[in-house]
Chain A
Amino acid sequence: MPQIRLERMVKRYGAVEVLHGIDLEMQDNEFTVLVGPSGCGKSTTLRMIAGLEDVSSGEIYVDGKPVKHLEPKDRDLAMVFQDYALYPHMNVAQNISFALRLQKRPKSEIDAKVRDVAGMVGLTDFLGRKPGALSGGQRQRVAMARALAKDSGIFLFDEPLSNLDAKLRGQMRAELALMSQRVEKNMIYVTHDQIEAMTLADRIVVMHGGYIQQQGTPEELFKRPVNKFVAGFLGMPPMNFLDGRIEDKGGALFVTGDGFSLRLSPEKAAIARMAQNPDVILGIRPSDLSYAPEAAPETALTLKVMVSEYIGAQSVLMCQCGGQSVTVEMNSETPMALGETLQFEANAARIHLFDKTSEQAI
């Protein structure tokens, strides 16, 4: 299976530069997810790998060979499009076999492959139908089958699930995860949905504003985000950010802000001492706050509960801490009265500090 390497890849539309030198390596048999908000350049990156967009400067290597100048058909890749892009005048079997027929493979081989792939995605009963007579999920499967039939080493997905409804999306996500375990391909998947990214990826690449922000395993990115953007982008509900200052109170370091003063753990304090700028942003995930009426004030936030969103086993509380809003995720069994001011203990090991001006993690 091929290995892909992007080297200082730049994309310009006229004078506007949308990708500012992307360096990225995608290993054998790896599921890489490019994730980021709309307009971050993730789809453009994918389309450049596919050969559908010209590379303004830089190079793309597949197995060490430059491929920038090659047509999409010569790059040995298959792609699933966001809007499926099925050929409406062909039935499902013809859609799946289009690439094989272009390669002029023998008919018996094509038939066998179509049956094989259709079985894999559960389309065997629909081979004679036109795409117009299929539901959204079935069309999605056809698009997937068409890419699978091609037997190429690189598999590109451009937000393939974004047009499905929530339930179907969950189901297809699970099927995709299953499929990615079974077929040994180098898969690159673009999405704006961080849940898809977290569940599917071997490696996540977070992009923003045409730059790669951070790459690593889902766990690495979730636990050790390098900057405020990555921290806020991954995780649902998103991380809370509170403006504060690092203050030394009798040897111990505290993060103090409007309505709170938290003592830093010794490890964090050691790192924080080296920070140039005492102005910081404190990041705490909603799940790292827990209701603790008897907690010591230097380990807890005092929050005024404004709104409680019941979502089943969990409740999400929208609270106020001084002038800043904080979300807390907690067990919905705990009784909680709105408008009350309560104490929530912060998990000291899991708080994040970001420099206020550079927004990089400290």
Chain B
Amino acid sequence: MSAPTQKNSPAFFAVIVLLVIMSVGPVILMFVNSFKLDVDIISGTSGLIFMPTIQNYETALCDVLWYEPEPLDFCALKFGGAFKNSLIIALISTALTLVIGSMAAYALVRFRFMGRDTVSATTLMVRMVPPAVLLVPVFGLWNNEFCLDRDGLIGGAIRDMFGGRGDVCLAGTHTGIIVIYVAMNLPFVIWILQSFIVQVPRSLEEAARVDGAGPFQVFFKVVLPLIKPGLAAAAIFTFRIAWNEYLLASALSDRNTKTVPILIVNNMSEFNVEWGVIMATGMLLAIPPIIFTLFASRQIITGMTAGAVKG
């Protein structure tokens, strides 16, 4: 009947163990397999006993290592480059999403304008559109419409500087991917931040206005610091999606702008699946989001507005 008896029941523990296995199991499997040779990975039970090797990591990281890994005669994987692309795209799209999202959320909460409720509801509905639906039109637009003529002033200058053929298009650039990620994540971020901004006492903003702050100072010096937990939550969410996204990046990136998830899939060909390298790259892929989350989650502390106003 009481809560403690329920917690101590064997069934409760069984459920907990099951959940832990389900969530941690694949990660452990990936971790273990990343130190095996492909032969060991696909050999079933006999592969349980194996000699750990860092060969997979050497292959995955061949373009950033200072030495040339022995069994490899050609470095086909450009992990370093892809990692840099992933970082640039994920960080910039996260930053942009937060800046635009927090301002939009503030406006939706605090300003009175016609159609405010409609706008607020529609932002979330946009989120319901599956990214796959966006893929085809966005691919077409990025490749054919959003282009600068190569004979034009700016397009020509870019072509002169970076070389290449054809018009200068959004497709295949970091910007192209960042823009679509921002668009994809904004609705949810706006929605999350609205609930945080509502909690900022109005009298704080009024006090700041009386103290001599303009609208932007009120926003940046008073409102923004107080919704830090919300910003952190939104940042974790946005970064994770941008970092892991595969579908849109696979269509919109080119050889030089591809991200790590796409690199992983490149290890599969019709003749061979390099499981060991896939696992090793997967492990490496998981590190930045973990670091980012640890850093960002420190900002999620409750009671940010404690002491602002009475009761």
Q: B-contacting residues of A (Cβ < 8 Å)?
A: 50-52, 71-73, 77-79, 81-89, 98-99, 102-103, 130-134, 136, 139, 146, 150, 163
Question: Does A134 lie within 8 Å of B211, measured CB to CB?
Answer: no
A129 to chain B, nearest CB (A): 9
- Which of B201, B203, B206, B211 touches A102 (beta carbons < 8 Å)? B211
CA separation between A82 and B222, bound complex, in Å?
A: 19
Interface pairs (18), CB distance under 8 Å: A50-B206, A52-B210, A73-B211, A79-B206, A82-B203, A83-B309, A86-B308, A86-B309, A88-B226, A88-B304, A89-B225, A99-B211, A102-B212, A103-B212, A130-B307, A131-B306, A136-B310, A139-B307
Chain A residues contacting B169 (CB-CB under 8 Å) are: none
Chain B residues contacting A130 (CB-CB under 8 Å) are: 307
Question: Does B214 lie within 8 Å of A87, measured CB to CB?
Answer: no
Chain A residues contacting B305 (CB-CB under 8 Å) are: 88
CA separation between A87 and B225, bound complex, in Å?
A: 10
B217 within 8 Å of A by Cβ? yes
CA separation between A71 and B225, bound complex, in Å?
A: 24
Question: Does B309 lie within 8 Å of A73, measured CB to CB?
Answer: no
* Besides the known contacts A50-B206, A88-B306, 4 further A-B residue pairs in the complex with CB atoms under 8 A apart: A51-B209, A85-B206, A88-B307, A98-B221
CA separation between A133 and B212, bound complex, in Å?
A: 26
CA separation between A133 and B203, bound complex, in Å?
A: 20
Chain A residues contacting B226 (CB-CB under 8 Å) are: 88-89
Chain A residues contacting B214 (CB-CB under 8 Å) are: 71, 73
Given contacts A79-B207, A81-B207, A163-B311, contact A89 B213 (CB under 8 A): no
Question: Does A87 lie within 8 Å of B212, measured CB to CB?
Answer: no
B251 within 8 Å of A by Cβ? no
Question: Does B310 lie within 8 Å of A132, measured CB to CB?
Answer: no
B204 within 8 Å of A by Cβ? yes
Contact with A along B188-228 (1 / 0, CB 8 A): 00000000000001011011111111100100011001100
Q: A-contacting residues of B (Cβ < 8 Å)?
A: 201, 203-204, 206-214, 217, 221-222, 225-226, 303-311
CA separation between A99 and B208, bound complex, in Å?
A: 8
Chain B residues contacting A50 (CB-CB under 8 Å) are: 206, 210
- Which of A72, A79, A102, A150 touches B217 (beta carbons < 8 Å)? A102
Chain A residues contacting B307 (CB-CB under 8 Å) are: 86, 88, 130-134, 139
Question: Does A79 lie within 8 Å of B208, measured CB to CB?
Answer: no
**Chain B, residue nearest A71 (CB):** B209
Question: Does B212 lie within 8 Å of A99, measured CB to CB?
Answer: yes
- Which of A71, A72, A83, A87 touches B310 (beta carbons < 8 Å)? A83
Chain A residues contacting B309 (CB-CB under 8 Å) are: 81, 83-86
Given contacts A132-B306, A136-B310, contact A85 B209 (CB under 8 A): no
B304 to chain A, nearest CB (A): 7
Chain A residues contacting B208 (CB-CB under 8 Å) are: 87, 98
Kindly name the residue among B226, B305, B306, B309 whose own CB sees the greatest number of chain A CB atoms within 10 A: B309
Chain A residues contacting B222 (CB-CB under 8 Å) are: 87
- Which of B201, B210, B311 touches A73 (beta carbons < 8 Å)? B210
Question: Does B210 lie within 8 Å of A83, measured CB to CB?
Answer: no
Given contacts A83-B310, A84-B310, A87-B308, contact A73 B209 (CB under 8 A): yes
**Chain A, residue nearest B217 (CB):** A102
Question: Does A146 lie within 8 Å of B211, measured CB to CB?
Answer: yes
Considering the complex of A and B, which 5 residue pairs feature the smallest CB-CB distances, nearest first?
A132-B307, A131-B307, A83-B309, A132-B306, A99-B211
Chain B residues contacting A71 (CB-CB under 8 Å) are: 209, 214
Kindly name the residue among B201, B208, B212 whose own CB sees the greatest number of chain A CB atoms within 10 A: B212
Kindly name the residue among A82, A99, A150 whose own CB sees the greatest number of chain B CB atoms within 10 A: A99
A29 to chain B, nearest CB (A): 21
CA separation between A137 and B226, bound complex, in Å?
A: 23
Question: Does A87 lie within 8 Å of B210, measured CB to CB?
Answer: no
CA separation between A99 and B212, bound complex, in Å?
A: 6
Chain B residues contacting A84 (CB-CB under 8 Å) are: 308-310
CA separation between A98 and B217, bound complex, in Å?
A: 11
Given contacts A52-B206, A87-B204, A88-B304, contact A150 B310 (CB under 8 A): no
A120 to chain B, nearest CB (A): 18
Chain B residues contacting A72 (CB-CB under 8 Å) are: 206, 209-210
CA separation between A213 and B214, bound complex, in Å?
A: 37
A99 to chain B, nearest CB (A): 4
CA separation between A132 and B53, bound complex, in Å?
A: 54
- Which of B201, B211, B310 touches A139 (beta carbons < 8 Å)? B310
- Which of B303, B308, B310 touches A163 (beta carbons < 8 Å)? B310
Question: Does B203 lie within 8 Å of A83, measured CB to CB?
Answer: yes
Question: Does B213 lie within 8 Å of A102, measured CB to CB?
Answer: yes
B170 to chain A, nearest CB (A): 39
**Chain A, residue nearest B303 (CB):** A132
CA separation between A73 and B310, bound complex, in Å?
A: 24
Chain A residues contacting B306 (CB-CB under 8 Å) are: 88, 131-132
Chain B residues contacting A103 (CB-CB under 8 Å) are: 212
Chain A residues contacting B221 (CB-CB under 8 Å) are: 98
Given contacts A131-B308, A163-B310, contact A85 B203 (CB under 8 A): yes
Chain A residues contacting B304 (CB-CB under 8 Å) are: 88-89
**Chain A, residue nearest B304 (CB):** A88
Given contacts A132-B303, A133-B307, A139-B307, contact A85 B213 (CB under 8 A): no
